Chains A and B, each alone.
Chain A
Amino acid sequence: MRSIDFVAVAFALLGSLLPGSTASADTGEPSTPLADRQLPAPTSPTNTCASCHATLTDPKLRSPAHEFATSVHSDDRIGCVGCHKGDARDPTVAAHSKAAGFDPHPTHADVPGICGGCHSDAAFMRRLNGRLPLGQLALYSLSLHGRLSVEGDDDAPNCAVCHGKHGILSPASPRSPVNRANVDKLCGGCHGDPKRMTKYGIRTDQYDKWSKSVHGVAFRAGNLKAPTCTGCHGAHSSAPPDTASVGRACGRCHEEELGFFEQSPHSKGFRERGLAQCVACHSNHDIAPASALMVGTTPDATCMKCHTQDEKPRKVASDISELLRGARDGAASARAEFARAETKGLHVAGAGFALERMTTAELRVRGIVHTLDPARVQARVAAVDASAAEVFQLVAAAEQARRVERRGYFVALALAGLVLGTLVLKSLQLRRRRLGEP
């Protein structure tokens, strides 16, 4: 198929050189013989490929030039020859000579080598853009995608599948498929497609699960710090974390939780039983928001997945659950009290800070739960209670201030009434005097 394409290109170009040839091979539109064509000024003195292809009538030959013009590779030091080789200084069809190494259609397996040829060349990349990383090809070679590609699997993604071909944009561009905001759709496009995934025997529900998870919901709500696929699996080195190391992947963000987990009795128990650290309780793609309901002895509590019979763990779960519910209810009533005051139009000075302190204290409670030590949980719950009490205190103070202000209003109103009464009396006195009454 690729050789046929090449022949078609070659014939199209040669055909356009033949005397009397007035139509493009593919479109049938009249075209000017290349030798007679008045070439526009080339976009650069060394890249005549783009300036010539931009004028061709066949969309297949023209569009790469247009796409390339806005790509991140549109640079004199790279140009079309960076990937396709050939002689870009030759404005004639001889630029496509095999002697110059011209390759119109690099194969799927060739692509990583072509891209990596530059992107692994430290001297070249440092000259071109000192900010760019260098190890992508090495990382890709280690990844499942890279290994499959090397084995000749043309369905395994190579560089061009994710980054694009001629119109490659900087990953910082919002239009780039590998931009932080788009990468979930890029991965989900293949991994959510049962047709593509059948031959690998892997599930296709990860993307849907992630979309509904606490991470996916936060990401969709605009929090670009929430992890997408690459956050846990890596980008060029993409591979699923294994059971023993998954905690490290989560711990990149949830550092405190991982630290507390490793201090807990669970750490040893999980290792011995081969359980995945965080995943055993929180799942992997469909991670639900953490809540006080996860801990406890109720049938739907996560602890009961393993500890239905054990007396001591059930006692710990029950104690921690009680503490968590107390903190949750205390914080909820403090928030409700603040909302009630706000609805009444009351300004509660300092309550915003107290509420933020309370939220931080709640997050710290979530972390310490992983120690499974009720005494340590109690210490952090006390901080939540203290902030909640502060909110109640501030609302009460604001209400008292409002009452004092209201009293001031009524005093002013009474004074105005007094002045009004005096003026009415004076007016009546003047009237009587005018009418000569006693």
Chain B
Amino acid sequence: MSAPEERPEGWLSDRLGWGGIVASLSTHRVPRRSFVFYLGGITLFLQSVQVASGILLVLYYRPDPAHAHESVEQIVREIPYGNLIHSVHAWTSDLFVACLLAHLFTVVLRRSFRPPQELSWLSGVAALLVGLGMAFTGSILPWTERAYTNARVGSQLAGQVPLIGESLRRFLRGGEEVTIGTLGHAYGFHVAVLPAVVTVIVAAHLFLLLRRPVVRPDKAEHETLPLYPEFIVRQAVAQMGALMVIMTLAIFAERPLGPVANPLQPTPAGAGPPWYLLPVHALLRDAPTELLGIDGARFLAGVGLVLASVVATLPFIDRRGSKVTAWAAIAVLLGLFILAIHALD
């Protein structure tokens, strides 16, 4: 019988320094009952599912308005298992955004952003913004009636951002109107720019979490778990559960493609923005013409930006012992929910 280091896995382990990594992860403790950690892990897993399914889709997708819809139709109808991959990608996109938002919300409720987690928090908020961007640009790519409306309305919403709105709108559209340039930009951002950015941000997020553990030193040992192997196995259970949910949804609730975009036709009835933009859509749609002497939509966009800045800087403004942040988060969530329902009217 050969010595352990002479076996192939021993050779590889020796080269990778696996023993050191395992030892380090074993000493790292995480809270035993922390939904925050599971949500973060699931979000990361969903991101991996998106990358894997996205690679399969990108092999057949053609990013120009004349062929985009046709190529997605080909994926769904002609490529073996293409329908499943398309449905998995579409469902995972929605679950990814939902988990991202839920992850953020639970962190706020548990106030896990407190020092020394400021940088983890900031990287998380950045990941959220990039994640929303990925989901939104992805919704444009099939070039359906709905996708076209998303591109038009989404870039119009971006145009309301104070100071840089007009330039941002033109940049997102790749010109004055939603054209071939818009689809090209959305495709480039969806498959190259945003995935690269999010990879860096998530890597930084994980690195910061490992460098500054969230478990306080005074925490009792029975309330924590070793990161390796127990927590990682639990994470794998949660992630496999998520995979089964996605597959069940993809098999039993297929995502229909919808008719091809026709810029010459009026906006089809029922075509609204993606669900995560419904509150913003409701606010800007029903905004008064003028607020405090400023254009209503622009004013509300400004207020939204201030709120987003407050959220981003929570670790620096939240006072120890105060429960205002948690209650404010619940109130904001409730408000967004009401606005989303209103947008569906």
Contacts and interface: CB of A to CB of B under 8 A. Distances in A.
B247 interface: yes
Contacts of B323: none
B247 A347 contact: no
Nearest to A418: B240
Interface string B284-325: 000000000000000000000000000000000000000000
B229 A430 contact: yes
A349 B225 CA distance: 55
A427 B244 contact: no
Contact of A417 (B229, B230, B244): B244
A423 B230 CA distance: 10
Contacts of B248: 413
Contacts of A426: 233
Interface stretch (B76-84, B134-142, B181-189, B196-204): B76-84
Nearest to B241: A420
Nearest to B254: A345
A162 interface: no
A424 interface: yes
B256 interface: yes
Contact of A412 (B76, B237, B247, B254): B247
Interface string A389-419: 0000000000000000110111011001101
Q: How large is the interface on A (under 10, 10 to 19, 20 to 34, 35 or more residues)?
A: 20 to 34
Contacts of B240: 416, 419-420, 423
A409 B247 contact: yes
B247 A345 contact: no
A408 B234 CA distance: 27
Nearest to B74: A347
Interface string B38-81: 00000000000000000000000000000000000000111011
B236 interface: yes
B251 A409 contact: yes
B282 interface: no
A434 interface: yes
A405 B85 CA distance: 12
Contacts of A220: none
B43 to A, nearest CB: 19
Interface string B245-269: 0011001001010000000000000
Contacts of A413: 244, 247-248, 251
A409 B84 contact: yes
Nearest to B248: A413
Contacts of A424: 237
A416 B248 CA distance: 11
Interface in B194-232: 225-226, 229-230
B143 to A, nearest CB: 19
Contact of B247 (A406, A416, A419, A431): A416
B329 interface: no
B230 A405 contact: no
B233 A430 contact: yes
B336 interface: no
A431 B237 CA distance: 14
B168 interface: no
Interface string B78-107: 101101100000000000000000000000
A417 B256 CA distance: 26
A297 to B, nearest CB: 46
Contacts of A409: 84, 247, 251
A160 B100 CA distance: 74
Given A347-B78, A349-B78, A427 B247 contact: no
19 contacts: A347-B78, A405-B83, A405-B84, A408-B81, A409-B84, A409-B251, A412-B247, A413-B251, A416-B240, A416-B244, A416-B247, A420-B237, A420-B241, A423-B233, A423-B236, A423-B237, A424-B237, A430-B229, A430-B233
Given A405-B84, A416-B243, A434-B225, 17 more contacts: A345-B77, A345-B256, A347-B77, A406-B251, A408-B81, A409-B84, A413-B244, A413-B247, A420-B237, A420-B241, A420-B244, A423-B236, A424-B237, A427-B233, A427-B234, A430-B230, A434-B230
Interface of A: 345, 347, 349, 405-406, 408-410, 412-413, 416-417, 419-420, 423-424, 426-427, 430-431, 434
